[in-house]
Amino acid sequence: MMNGSMYFEPTEIEEALELLSRYGNDARLMAGGTDLIIDVTEGRVAEGHIINLMSIDSTSKITGENGLCIGATVLLDSIEHSPRIIDEFQMLSEAASVVGSWQIRVLGTMGGNMCNALPCADTAPPLYAADAVIEIAGQSGRRVVPAESFILAPRKNVLEPGEMLVGFRLPKAPRRTGSVFVKHIFRKALDMTIISLAVAVTLDARSDVIRRARVALGSAAPTPIRTRQAEAVLEGNMLTEELAREAADLVVGECRVHDSPIRASAEYRRDVIRVLARRCIQEAVRRAGQHERGGSDDEV
Amino acid sequence: MAELQVVGNRMPLVDSNEKIMGTAVFGTDIVLPGMLHGKILRSPHAHARILHINTERAKRVPGVRAVVTAADAPSTRFGLSIRDERFFAIDEAHYIGDEVSGVVAGDEDTAEEASRLIEVEYEPLPAVFDPVEAMKLDAPLARGDTAGNVCKHLEITRGDVERGFQDSAVVHEELFSLGHQYQAYIEPIATAAEWTNGRLTLWAPHQAPRTQLKVMCEAFDIPSGAFRLIQTYIGGGFGGKNNMHLCPIVALLAKKAGAPVRVVLTRAEDFQASMPSVPMHIRLKMGAGDDGTILAKDVYIIADNGAFTASASGVITVAAMRVDALYRFKNVHVVGDLVYTNKVSTSAFRGFGNTQMHFAVESMMDTLAERLGVDPIEIRLRNATQKGDVTAHGWVIGSCELSQAIRKVVQVSEWKRKRGPGRLKGRGIGIACGMHISGSAAATPEGPGSSAQVRVHEDGSVHIVSSEGDIGQGAKTVFAQIAAEVLGIPYENVHVSQLDTDVSNFGVGAIGSHVTTMGGHGIRAAAVAARGRLIQAASDRWGCDEREVRLIQGKLVNSVSEEAMEIGEAASHYVNMTGGSRLLGEGQFRAEGISAPDKDAYGNVSLGYSYAAHIAEVEIDLETGLISLVRMVAAHDSGQVINPMFAEGQVEGGILQGMGMALSEQYVFKDGRIQNPNFTNYRVPTAMDYPEIEVHFVGKPDPNGPFGAKSIAEVSIVPVAPAIANAVYDAIGVRFTSLPITPQRILEALKAKDREVKAAEAELG
Amino acid sequence: MMRYEITCTVNDTPVKFEVEPWDTLLHVLRDKLGLTGTKYGCGTGDCGACTVLVDGEPYVACLTLAVRMKGRSIETVEGLAKEGVLHPLQRAFIEYGALQCGYCTPGLLMAAKALLAKNPHPTRADVQIAIAGNICRCTGYKKVIEAIQAAPTLVG
């Protein structure tokens, strides 16, 4: 037990950064706290000075005219129910809706989910599939990294000492875009993810040719990943059963799963990835197709 | 018999208010004045000699009151059956989690901090984790204080098994494997202890207080009756709280600290150091005649005892014998070995070994049916035990509606239609039957029965002092209904006291499905005795003959003068006429005609036998293996159901717990360490996993049960896993002989089948 | 160790307590305020037995820092009944037999209350999602779901 742990509740990002810099290794940035408190209780992380980020107004909102800005401390429950997110990035709402339980979703944040940097981070695949970028603030100013580059390894993210994640920017998706997220678990709730998949597909304005495809997975490699070969084989083509299967095989090829006696074997995961990738690609195309044809490809 | 007014009705729990308002005090809630907190240091090694323990640094932590090891404890051995437990590890730790030392401090954090400063020098020893390996001649000893790893061997033979197999049209043999199932009660194990003037009082959420006290007295080597246990509310037991190793430890900590001490296990500790179900390998061979009659059954059980025995000795016996009351088995032979391993101790879990064996037998019935070309329903009806049967082990079946239960679930589930053409791919339906004892004599070998007291207070309220307690299953409610029925008073006027062994009679508690059956008889006897005293008091008051006084609808009535009196008034008069005695009815019930099995394991063991049939419907995603339990239809013969609402609740809960056993729950071990000691990775069914459940009661009053009642809480889990396994077979033609049936195993099996089919086609083509 | 004085309301009553930064709300409720209705089940947010409402949202108190409760309005099971009159959810649970051992009941009641405040007529699926984080080992969930759906009809 650490002597003299302190608690801070900054209301501005700059205040938080100042505290972070002052306390260095003893600083504990906390959003929902659901992962961090368990880490401390179970001895993986020592107690330290708590910097509670939930009073910072500027990171707690969903805004944006052209695309979406989601603050780091927006609750998963809010992401799940946000009408804009449901409308424009359905896969993200779906992912938020299956993190833990309702109790976890009203405490937890996407910022926390990503900073925890686990391969099973459920919000990662949709962020990757949305070409999201992550806004980072540090003493020397702001920088932006692709969401895909944020997680380096299990429990290791790209933040340098003195930096914090402040927000997510998702570029506006073209009109004929459909997306879907699936989390594969054995029970119907609460399990740690065995495989998760986010697929976003944009169809041509006037035909059903796939103009753009994004396929991202969680728990399929040491970090969440995008599978670009599969995306490449889809783009420029109309979806057929055969093409979906071909793409799904490519997805499997790009994954690096391992055996987990508690969750599932590598072989099972590959089998499930193949099936779910095919189904998700088909579903994403179906959802995209629900937007009527017409107009130009530049329309958003 | 007059129509029942209270018994048989859907009464709310008699302790509803305390539970619903959050004022019920559970083991984890006990707070005593001056109470300190304890933490336990546990062995990180599966098997190790303890060379040296240095507690000096721990003792010096400010706020620490005591640091205790085996050196501070009596060196006695104790245990429920085999005396293989001790306070703390003496010179050898037997499993990862074994208690090595305890710290008492002003708060839990300080105790925890201090426990990390205890220095223990271990010498790791070879460990054995697999009971089959442990039985080999060259296997290391799991415990250095034993001569061998097999701590119990049993063999029972009835009839002529060899002849039976010879006469069989079909013989099938299969190896079934059941792993550990964790009770997963939501309240972790906790105990508080206080010594006053050399006398110990324990507060614990314990299923069987008297049994624990007997063990405690052995442990401290003092005469029985010296200690007191107050049963708190219990947040679930399921067998896992019928023997708490924490009790002697906390008592010792309190003694050394000179203050009351409470220990609450963390959930991770509870996973690692409580007592899950007994894993078994069951090699089962059965033979059937061409009409489906089972002609022979041969069984070999290897059971994993873990590091300590507790109830496992009884569990393997039950596994060996109890299922033989399900069907009219005549020729049976069973051998069993209970084997020590360096893993968590295994013990009682709802069903007590009967669950494990039913999985094997009920799975095999389907296989035999298929090989004979007989419907799974027909083979069961053909063999079903009937009322009046005397089984191969001499069990006398006073009532049995098994056949009716089978027919009921077949009808309600639309079995025939669902097995017919036009069914959806991946859907399957399966049946399994089950039985269990109801008031077992094995739980009280010294004299099966139950005693209780019913007091009538001057305000007319009735207070039950039960010796059997309530583990959250609704025992108090059943008792209140019985007392209200006998006395003709409103259910709302009945109160049931907390079980305090200083106050109540001696009871067995929630083991051997004892509570409703035997406990109910005890309550009834006590209520009848109270009624007698009320009549006595009223007749004294009126100066008339007792035979003129009746108790009708809660009022005493003089049938001659037509005067009437409230029972409270009679109770008041009783106080006056006796020089201050409370009006107390003392009821004693001694069960006749049953006894614990003799040395030949023969003889009627239980007052009654409960029966059930469950039909499960599953839906499997053939591409991912994901399996949903869609529906469960259950029909139960529990005689006269005392409270249908809570009897349903037992079946509904048993189905979810059985579903977990069948589909998702398992300990994952690596080198003796549990890898998933938490609710994220040990998968207990959630509300999202809930299937459709329908419960039907088909029982007729049992001649031996109170008001004709029989047990339901344990039998409700018994048919679930085999019903699901049989449904899976129906859906995809794969027979799973071990659990859980996870989506991964389903997909692997489907792929293997597919390869076989393709290979066969290639050969033909 | 730094201590912080926190003022908030618990069950409509103003409350003040002193905590260290890493003290959980569960610890404060149970051990400082003596409100033991909220239960310890796992300490890792997996079982829901410690569910309380914080400004109407269902929080697992074992993962909620007490120090963050400044100015917040906390509701526990002890606050459901008003002057001895049970809340409709409590009445429904009793009537429908939705509790057996009662240990998970407080957490379930609070999650259910939060649900009904947002969705007064939940479907069975809505209820299942809302209470997915509340593990019950006794009831099998059937009567719990029925009670929660029936509670709105018991008002008044």
Q: Which of B647, B528, B665, B520 is nearest to B584 (CA)?
A: B528
Among A190, A264, A272, beta carbon nearest to B686: A190
Looking at residue B596, its pLDDT comes to 84
**Separation of alpha carbons B469 and B19, rounded Å:** 16
**Separation of alpha carbons C63 and B238, rounded Å:** 28
Looking at residue C76, its pLDDT comes to 98
**Separation of alpha carbons B531 and B455, rounded Å:** 10
Residues A121-169 have pLDDT tens digits of 999 999 999 999 999 999 899 999 999 999 999 999 999 999 999 999 9
Where helices occur in B86-208 by DSSP H, the ranges are 108-115, 131-134, 161-167
| Three-state secondary structure call for residue A142 | strand
pLDDT average, residue stretch B276-287: 98
Mutate to test the interface with C, among B19, B349, B643, B665 (most CBs of C within 10 A): B19
The token pair at B654 is 């048993």
**Separation of alpha carbons A173 and B40, rounded Å:** 57
Q: Cβ contact (<8 Å) for B109 and A272?
A: no
**Separation of alpha carbons B356 and B434, rounded Å:** 11
Which residues partner with C60 through β-bridges?
A: C51
Among A33, A77, A101, beta carbon nearest to C48: A101
pLDDT average, residue stretch B327-355: 98
Residue B84 CB neighbours (<10 A): 21
Q: Work out the minimum CA distance from B411 to partner chain C, whole angstroms.
A: 22
Tell me which chain A residues have a C-beta less than 8 angstroms from the C-beta of C68.
Answer: 9, 52, 54
Tell me which chain C residues have a C-beta less than 8 angstroms from the C-beta of A34.
Answer: 45, 60, 63
Tell me which chain B residues have a C-beta less than 8 angstroms from the C-beta of C34.
Answer: 31
How does strand B564-566 pair with strand B555-558? antiparallel
Class for the domain spanning B280-442+596-752: alpha beta
Residues B122-140 have pLDDT tens digits of 999 999 999 999 999 999 9
Burial category of B699 from C-beta neighbours within 10 Å (exposed 0-12, middle 13-18, buried 19 and up): buried
Q: Cβ contact (<8 Å) for C51 and A54?
A: no
**Separation of alpha carbons B404 and B585, rounded Å:** 39
The token pair at B218 is 């052995």
Q: What does residue A40 show for φ and ψ, rounded to 5 degrees?
A: -70, -45
Looking at residue B3, its pLDDT comes to 85
**Separation of alpha carbons B546 and B550, rounded Å:** 8
Tell me which chain A residues have a C-beta less than 8 angstroms from the C-beta of B743.
Answer: 186, 268
**Separation of alpha carbons A116 and A197, rounded Å:** 19
Domain architecture of chain C: domains with CATH: 4-79 (3.10.20.30), 88-154 (1.10.150.120)
pLDDT tens series, chain A, 300 aa: 456 899 999 999 999 999 999 999 999 999 999 999 999 998 899 999 999 999 999 999 999 988 999 999 999 999 999 999 999 999 999 999 999 999 999 999 999 999 999 999 999 999 999 999 999 999 899 999 999 999 999 999 999 999 999 999 999 999 999 999 999 999 999 999 999 999 999 999 989 999 999 999 999 999 999 999 999 999 999 999 999 999 999 999 999 999 999 999 999 999 999 999 999 999 999 999 999 888 877 665
Q: What does residue B283 show for φ and ψ, rounded to 5 degrees?
A: -95, 115
**Separation of alpha carbons B170 and B49, rounded Å:** 52
**H/E run at residue A234:** helix A228-234
Q: A196-217 burial, b for 16+ CB within 10 Å, e for fewer?
A: bbbbbbbbbbeeeebbbbbbbb
Q: Work out the minimum CA distance from C156 to partner chain A, whole angstroms.
A: 29
Q: Are B527 and B487 in contact (CB under 8 A)?
A: yes
pLDDT average, residue stretch B659-663: 98
Q: Are A30 and A53 in contact (CB under 8 A)?
A: yes
Which residues partner with A145 through β-bridges?
A: A134
Q: Work out the minimum CA distance from C147 to partner chain A, whole angstroms.
A: 19
C65 vs A: CB within 8 A? yes
Residues B674-708 have pLDDT tens digits of 999 999 999 999 999 999 999 999 999 999 999 99
The token pair at B293 is 């009659």
Q: What does residue B663 show for φ and ψ, rounded to 5 degrees?
A: -115, -25
**H/E run at residue B433:** strand B427-440
Say if B16-20+449-590 and B280-442+596-752 have the same CATH topology: yes
**Separation of alpha carbons B211 and B207, rounded Å:** 9
Tell me which chain A residues have a C-beta less than 8 angstroms from the C-beta of B626.
Answer: 184, 186
Q: Cβ contact (<8 Å) for B686 and A188?
A: yes
For residue A49, give the chain C residue with the closest CA.
C21
Of B313-322, B328-337, B545-554, B592-601, the poorest mean pLDDT is in B592-601
Instruction: Please give the share of chain B, as a percent, with pLDDT higher than 70.
Output: 100
Q: How far is CA B688 from CA A188, A264, B27, C41, in A?
A: 6, 21, 29, 19
**Where are chain B's structural domains?**
16-20+449-590, 31-125+187-235+241-273, 280-442+596-752
Where helices occur in B327-457 by DSSP H, the ranges are 354-372, 376-383, 402-413, 415-419
Looking at residue B645, its pLDDT comes to 98
Which residues partner with B449 through β-bridges?
A: B590
Question: Residue B757: what residue type?
Answer: V
Q: B337-355 burial, b for 16+ CB within 10 Å, e for fewer?
A: bbbbbbbbbbbbbbbbbbb
For residue C32, give the chain B residue with the closest CA.
B31
Looking at residue A1, its pLDDT comes to 42
Among C41, C99, C142, beta carbon nearest to B20: C99
Q: Work out the minimum CA distance from A26 to partner chain C, whole angstroms.
A: 13
Q: Work out the minimum CA distance from A273 to partner chain C, whole angstroms.
A: 25
Q: Are B640 and B7 in contact (CB under 8 A)?
A: yes
Residues B452-483 have pLDDT tens digits of 999 999 999 999 999 999 999 999 999 999 99
**H/E run at residue B617:** strand B606-620
Among A188, A190, A264, beta carbon nearest to B744: A264
Cis preceding linkage at B421, omega within 30? no
Among B113, B685, B742, beta carbon nearest to A1: B113
- List, in order, residues 6 or more apart from B237 with CB less than 8 Å away: B183, B185, B205, B207, B471, B472, B510
- Quick one: three-class SS letters along B347-380? ECCCCCCHHHHHHHHHHHHHHHHHHHCCCHHHHH
Among B184, B266, B474, beta carbon nearest to C137: B184
Topology of domain B31-125+187-235+241-273 in CATH is Aldehyde Oxidoreductase; domain 3 (3.90.1170)
DSSP label at residue B546: G
Q: Cβ contact (<8 Å) for B679 and C138?
A: no
Q: Cβ contact (<8 Å) for A50 and C46?
A: no
Chain A partners (3+ C-beta pairs within 8 A) = B, C
Burial category of B592 from C-beta neighbours within 10 Å (exposed 0-12, middle 13-18, buried 19 and up): exposed
Q: What does residue B538 show for φ and ψ, rounded to 5 degrees?
A: -65, -40
Mutate to test the interface with C, among A97, A101, A109 (most CBs of C within 10 A): A101
pLDDT higher than threshold 70 for residue B40: yes
Chain C partners (3+ C-beta pairs within 8 A) = A, B
Q: How far is CA B569 from CA B485, B539, B541, B556, B606, in A?
A: 20, 12, 10, 10, 41
B157 vs A: CB within 8 A? no
Q: Cβ contact (<8 Å) for B624 and A188?
A: no
Looking at residue C154, its pLDDT comes to 85
Tell me which chain C residues have a C-beta less than 8 angstroms from the C-beta of B654.
Answer: 140
Output the pTM of the full model. 0.97
A65 vs B: CB within 8 A? no
**Separation of alpha carbons C51 and C108, rounded Å:** 7
pLDDT higher than threshold 80 for residue C142: yes
Q: Cβ contact (<8 Å) for C59 and A34?
A: no
Residue A272 CB neighbours (<10 A): 27
Chain position carrying tokens 């509870």: B270
Q: Cβ contact (<8 Å) for A190 and B680?
A: yes
Among C77, C81, C140, beta carbon nearest to B693: C140
B681 vs C: CB within 8 A? no
Q: Cβ contact (<8 Å) for B687 and C128?
A: yes
Q: Which of B572, B552, B326 is nearest to B455 (CA)?
A: B572
Domain architecture of chain A: domains with CATH: 7-55 (3.30.43.10), 59-170 (3.30.465.10), 177-289 (3.30.390.50)
- List, in order, residues 6 or more apart from B596 with CB less than 8 Å away: B441, B442, B445, B448, B605
The token pair at B113 is 């901090």
> Per this entry, what is the length of chain A?
300
| Three-state secondary structure call for residue B276 | coil
pLDDT average, residue stretch B496-512: 92
Give the confidence band of B344 by pLDDT, cuts at 50, 70, 90. Answer: very high
Cα torsion B1, B3, B8, B10 to 10°: value is: -170
Tell me which chain C residues have a C-beta less than 8 angstroms from the C-beta of A77.
Answer: 57
**H/E run at residue C15:** strand C13-19
**Separation of alpha carbons B248 and B218, rounded Å:** 10
Q: Cβ contact (<8 Å) for B649 and C129?
A: no
DSSP label at residue A136: E
Q: Are C137 and C131 in contact (CB under 8 A)?
A: no
Q: Which of B710, B745, B662, B713 is nearest to B356 (CA)?
A: B662
Topology of domain B16-20+449-590 in CATH is Aldehyde Oxidoreductase; domain 4 (3.30.365)
pLDDT higher than threshold 70 for residue B1: no
Q: ipTM surpassing 0.85, yes or no?
A: yes
Burial category of B544 from C-beta neighbours within 10 Å (exposed 0-12, middle 13-18, buried 19 and up): middle
Residues B197-224 have pLDDT tens digits of 989 999 999 999 999 999 999 999 998 8
Residue C13 CB neighbours (<10 A): 10
DSSP label at residue B73: S
Q: How far apart are the first and last CA of chain A?
A: 54
**Separation of alpha carbons B693 and B673, rounded Å:** 36
Tell me which chain C residues have a C-beta less than 8 angstroms from the C-beta of A30.
Answer: 65
